[in-house]
Each structure stands twice: as C-alpha cells, then as structure tokens.
Structure 1
Amino acid sequence: MPESPRRPLRDIRRSYTGEDKIAAKAGLGRRCLGLDRCTPEQRRFRAQLALHVFNGYGTEVVSREAVYRAPDFLSYTMIASPRYDEMAFIFRTAPRNAFGRLIADSSCDFGMPGLRLLASDGFRTFHAVHHPTGARTVFAVRSDFETADLVARSMDTSVEHDLFERFPRAHIPLSAEEDAALNRIPPMTEEIEILLAALIARISAEDPSRTWAVGNWWGDPLRRPKPPGYGLESKLSLWGADHAWTLRWNRYPYPSDLISCLAAPEIGVTGAQAVEDGGGWAIKLGGSSLHLRYGEVK
C-alpha cells in the first residue's frame, strides 16, 4: 500500500503555531519548521527577551534586579512568528499596548535594555531594533506587515511626534542604567540561548491533536482543570548561569505542556531531551540544562 503524502512543512508548522500561511511560510527553513533557525543575533535577543518576560510579580530576581521585569507582555493574546532574521508577534488587537510592555517609555521605569523603536504607523505595526544584539523585532496586527523602511517613509508627522515622545528611537544610545543591566546578565552557553529562545518562539504553540497547549502563558485553550500547584498569585522566575538555568512558574502552562513543546518530535528543539530531575524535569541540550520547577516560586 503506498504511503500517504507528507504534509508540507508550512502546514505542519501552522498546525502547531497558529500562524496563517503567510507567517508560516516567512519563517520556514529549507528542511525544517524554522522555529529555532535564526541568526546568532536573533538567538541572543530572544534569550534576553525570555529573561524579561519570564521574571516578575515579586520574585527574588525582580526585587534584586528590577530591570528584568516585563511579564505583563504575556497577558496579551498573540501568535509568535519567528523568522530567520526577525522575531514577529502578531496580535488581533492592541500591538501598541503589548509593545509598550517591553520598551522603556516616559511613564515606566522598566523596559528591555537597548530596545528602540525604528518605525510605526502608530496603531497596526511597530518595528524595533535591539541595540545590544542588532536584532530586529516587529509587533503587528497582520502577518503581511510592511517593512520598516516602508512604514518609516509613510509615517505621519503627528504620529511620529507622539511615538518618539513616548518611546526611545533608534539613534538614542544605551544609557548607563541599560549598560549596567546588560552587564548583570549572567553568561549563557549557546545551548541555553537556544532553549531560552525556544520559549519565546513557542509562546503560542499548541498540539494539533489537542493534548497540550502553551496558551500564551496566561490560560489553557484546552479548558482542563487547574494543574496541581497552581498559584493564587502569578509568579515567574528565570535565572542561572553558564550551562545551568532554572525556570520557575506557578500558573499556566502545565509542566507537561512545556516539556512537550520543547522536546516532542516535530515541534521540539532538535537534540533536546526531557529528563526527570530531582522531583522536577529538565530539558537537556548538549551539556546544558534548563531545569523546570512548577509550583511555589520564591
């Protein structure tokens, strides 16, 4: 009996990420889904972004280093659309609000150090650059968003004034505070960078067979009972050094969901393995480990 034809990679990727055809095609590799295929600059940017969105709500890391705090970004419903040289986030509504949770502005003490606005129409599309890595990122309501150059050329003067009064623009150099914050980031192995970047690339991942779902880290699309250890107050902590890092959380997703999206066939990180680890789990890649601890977060 002849084998059934294999589905196109674009359709396999879409079935996990929720991207539309345009977004999925833009991120595909030649022989892979492309979720982790990116430039070294993109990998480092995504890993640093993970430090900001997976730290917050009163954890020790935040009280010690307040700059690593942008977990409210995860309160928005989005589709993560990683591309080789760009990290795109697609929102049904309010990309400006979500972008404002990451970039330091005139009303906020927190922000990802070195993130700068490149161009925007003020409502639908926001292009940014991360100065420490040179990586580009975009926040948009459509997957077929215009390039930064096209958006910049069509920016309305009043919109430009409003945006650049609130958000730091690309020519502004790093401040002393940003430099200090960046210097406090512990060293990471390349394998750890890959795993932390993978967390960002899979923010919206869901099994097409509906056995697991990451759910943007704020809810469960599968409507299951709350997982054991679910906390009344959301807490997140991501910290470590070199080859050993630990992610702690106490709400969604289920621990098994996170293990599946990082280590399962098709969707998982190539070479990553999930192993039991002292009452919890660890995702191992090469000689590095991302320890997963669910429940109480100190």
Structure 2
Amino acid sequence: MPSSLRRRAAHLRASYTGETHPLATPGIARHDVGISYAGNGLGLDACTAQQRQLRALLALGLLNHGPTSAWPRHVSLADVTRYTLVVSPRYNDLVITTRAPYNVACWLVGRDKLPEIGVPGLRVESSHAEGWRLRHLPTGAALTVTRNRHGHLQGPVTLGSNYTRLWTTDVPLTAEEHAVLNALPPLCADTETLLAALTVRLCTHAPDGSWDIGTWFSNLTGRPSRAHSHHRRLSVEAGQCTLHWDSNPHPEDLYAALTDPVIGLPGTIGLGIRMSNERHRDGSVWWVIQLLNDEVSVPASAEPRTWAIPARAKLTRTWTSKQQAGGAGPVRGALKVAEEATAQGRWVRIHTLLHSRYDVDFEGNGTSEFVVDVFDAPIPLEHRGE
C-alpha cells in the first residue's frame, strides 16, 4: 500500500477507534497493495489464525458477566471494560492502551493466591516500565498492554512479572484452565471471526457521533443510557452467537459497528440478526440478539419473513423497514418501533432478511429489510437455560 494511502487509512481508522495515528498505522497492512482501504475493515480483522482464536476467547470472557454468565465467574473479564481503553488490533498482536495498565493486566492474567485466572493460558512474557508483553500459551498469540498512547513498550525488558506475581510463561496451564478451555463450545473459523470482531470493536464509535460501543459500559452519543447492572451473556451454539445484555451499547450501535461501510467486518453488510426483548428477574428489560453469518433470502412475491411466528402467538402488528418514515434509517426505525412496544410491556421480535427482486434464482439478490413483530403478549421472562 503506498505510504500516502496508508497514512490516510490510518487517520480514517483512528477516527473510529480512538487510536493515535502512530498507534493505528501498524495495523494497516503494507501487503494489501491494490486493495482499497474503505470497506475492508481498515485492518481490524486481518490477523493470524492464532490471533483470531485469542480474540474470540477474549470476547467470551469480556461479554459474560453476572448471574446468567455462560462462563465461570472466576474467568469473567468484564471488569476490564470499566477502564478507559483503546484497542489496536494488528496482524500478529493485539495492543491495548490504557491509563491503568497494571489494573487491566491483573484482570487478564492469573496470579498466585487469587481465585481469578484471567484469560485461560495467558501469561506475562516480558515486563517493561509502562506495560507488558503477554503471550497466550495455547495459541502462541501476543497481547500487549501499555500506558503509552502510541502502543510502545518503553524501558528495559525485565524477566517475568513486576507486579503482584502475575503468572509468567514458565507457569504451565493449570488443571482449572484446562477445564475451562475444554468446556468451550467448538468454534468454526466463521464464528471465531465474528467473536473476534466484537473484541476489536470494543471501543469503536462513529466519527459523526451516530453510534458508539463505549466498551459496553458507557454511552457517549448523548442518548439516554441503558445502564442497569451491566449483566451480559454471550453464548455459542451450533455456530450461532447469542448475546443478552441489559445496558450499553444500544442494540443499533452494535449492528452499526459490525456493518459500517468503513469500519465494519468485511462481508457483513448483510449481517443477519434476530433480536427480542425479555424481562430479567430484577424487572429490567434485556435485549437478546443472535448474530448470523448471513441473511436469509426470500423471493420477491413472498411474505417478508424468515423467523416463524411461534405457535399460539398472536400478532398485533408487523412493521417492515419499507414503512420507515423520515431520515431515521432502517435500523433506527426498527428499534424505534421495538422500543415503543417495549415501553407498553409488549413482546417484540426483530429479524433481518434479504428480500429479492426475483422469484427465481433469488438467493443473494435483493435488498436488506428489517421486520418487527409486536405480539399481544407481555415481555417474556428471561430464559436462563439458553
């Protein structure tokens, strides 16, 4: 990639990620000569298989928290998201810059005499004055935590850990870590890619302020905060990722971050979703979102629906994005309808589909649509067995 194009790409990427220009530049691959940087994720998702596996593991740890967590509580990494972070993905490294590198590292890496084990298999490889180079033993992938805004590890290298006896690379995996890793669901490459995309977009936001992930903790868009208990549940079954959460980010922001034409995950402009509301036992309303690898196509003359209506369920209204009014767009329009029905205590489901222009050979041709179903039923209680 020519240096001038690489510089422009780094500035564009930094406007979404909060990176400094020197921090973003190493993430823009030089070998992508001839590939336009717009629409290819600006290097966020280009990585080794080992990095992809580590980032998928991080997503499972970061996005499970609270009584319904799909992971053991002593493995949850959710408290990392309470810190001010910048996540800078590179082809063979994942750099996290923060004003509190010691605190963040202590959540990520296990240490002596404490029940938390952090990321199973993550170890300190080398210590520096302002951070650490970490190494994930099962995959060999690197992770850097540093206070330096440009991602540098400054100061002399020292062997081992220099803080609270964090486990180093000479500490083999414990029986407990083996148990956690062995209990993970099988993840295909596509599922790992989707999970990894959640990790690297942890701090992303739109330059115009229209959406913001806010590390799944804060809301910087000026809209009302959805914060409650910051409970989250991310589970994977049969290659399908399902997210439950009761706080920030807003659901449409997550969808926007994954499908944005500049910073989105390549190939997910037509990302399929299924989303519904449910009531937590404390009375708060959660949104449950299933992330699908693609959208299901329907013929031109068919009803715009790919999510079957449950037996005995009575519909009071079905809204599609063709009915949208004003400049809200299909995502915001769908969420507006859903939130209004939720405020009335109604059960709501949203799904996407690809409505074809044809009735024959319709697969993969058409326009993405959002469908909102409002049922004559109260918001269902949380199903903890999912």
Q: Do both proteins adopt the same fold according to a TM-score greater than 0.5, normalized to the shorter chain? A: yes
CA distance in 2, matches of 1:125, 1:76: 15
- Return the offset for 1:161: 6.6
1:86-235 aligned within 5 A: 86-91=93-98, 93-110=99-116, 111-121=118-128, 124-146=130-152, 154-155=157-158, 162-163=162-163, 166-227=165-226, 230-231=227-228, 233-235=229-231
CA 1:243/1:161 → structure 2, altered by over 3 Å: closer, same or farther? closer
Deviations 1:208-236, CA, capped at 9 Å, x for gaps: 01100011111111221134xx53x2201
Amino acid at match of 1:194: T
SS in 2 for 1:204: coil
SS in 2 for 1:81: strand
CA 1:6/1:39 → structure 2, altered by over 3 Å: closer, same or farther? closer
CA 1:161/1:241 → structure 2, altered by over 3 Å: closer, same or farther? closer
- Return the offset for 1:109: 1.3
CA 1:296/1:263 → structure 2, altered by over 3 Å: closer, same or farther? farther
- Return the offset for 1:67: 4.4
Amino acid at match of 1:284: L
| Bigger mean CA offset, 48-57 vs 5-14 | 5-14
Aligned counterpart, 2:291: 283
CA 1:225/1:138 → structure 2, altered by over 3 Å: closer, same or farther? same
- Structure scoring higher RCO (CA < 8 A, sep ≥ 6) equals 1
Deviations 1:152-191, CA, capped at 9 Å, x for gaps: x543x8xx5743x611111111111111111001101211
* In the alignment, structure 1 residue 56 sits paired with structure 2 residue 65: yes
CA 1:8/1:297 → structure 2, altered by over 3 Å: closer, same or farther? farther
Structure 2 unpaired stretches of 5+ = 277-287, 297-349, 352-380
Say whether the 8 Å CA contact 2:69–2:232 is kept in structure 1.
no
Instruction: Flag the structure with larger Rg.
Output: 2
Say whether the 8 Å CA contact 2:205–2:213 is kept in structure 1.
yes
SS in 1 for 2:120: coil
CA distance in 1, matches of 2:102, 2:85: 13
Aligned counterpart, 1:251: 247
Deviations 1:20-50, CA, capped at 9 Å, x for gaps: 1111101013334000000000000000011
CA distance in 2, matches of 1:106, 1:297: 37
| Larger proportion of helix | 1
How many pairs align? 276
CA 1:7/1:167 → structure 2, altered by over 3 Å: closer, same or farther? closer
CA distance in 1, matches of 2:205, 2:383: 25
Aligned counterpart, 2:17: 17
* In the alignment, structure 1 residue 268 sits paired with structure 2 residue 268: no
CA distance in 2, matches of 1:26, 1:282: 33
CA distance in 2, matches of 1:297, 1:19: 39
- Return the offset for 1:108: 2.7
CA 1:247/1:50 → structure 2, altered by over 3 Å: closer, same or farther? same
* In the alignment, structure 1 residue 45 sits paired with structure 2 residue 48: no
Aligned counterpart, 1:34: 43
| Bigger mean CA offset, 204-213 vs 98-107 | 98-107
Say whether the 8 Å CA contact 2:96–2:145 is kept in structure 1.
yes
Structure 1 unpaired stretches of 5+ = none
CA distance in 1, matches of 2:89, 2:202: 11
Say whether the 8 Å CA contact 1:248–1:297 is kept in structure 2.
no
CA 1:136/1:244 → structure 2, altered by over 3 Å: closer, same or farther? same
SS in 2 for 1:262: helix
- Return the offset for 1:105: 1.4
CA distance in 2, matches of 1:297, 1:271: 31
Say whether the 8 Å CA contact 2:47–2:90 is kept in structure 1.
yes
Amino acid at match of 2:214: G
- Return the offset for 1:143: 4.1
CA distance in 1, matches of 2:275, 2:132: 43
CA distance in 2, matches of 1:297, 1:70: 23
CA distance in 2, matches of 1:82, 1:223: 27
CA 1:278/1:25 → structure 2, altered by over 3 Å: closer, same or farther? closer
Say whether the 8 Å CA contact 2:242–2:291 is kept in structure 1.
no
Say whether the 8 Å CA contact 1:56–1:68 is kept in structure 2.
no
- Return the offset for 1:56: 1.4
* In the alignment, structure 1 residue 78 sits paired with structure 2 residue 85: yes
Say whether the 8 Å CA contact 1:235–1:249 is kept in structure 2.
yes
Query: How large is the RMSD of aligned CA atoms in angstroms?
Result: 2.8
CA distance in 2, matches of 1:20, 1:236: 30
CA 1:22/1:61 → structure 2, altered by over 3 Å: closer, same or farther? same
- Structure 1 runs, 4 residues or longer, greater than 4 Å off: 295-298
CA 1:145/1:276 → structure 2, altered by over 3 Å: closer, same or farther? closer
Say whether the 8 Å CA contact 1:56–1:235 is kept in structure 2.
yes
| Bigger mean CA offset, 77-86 vs 215-224 | 215-224
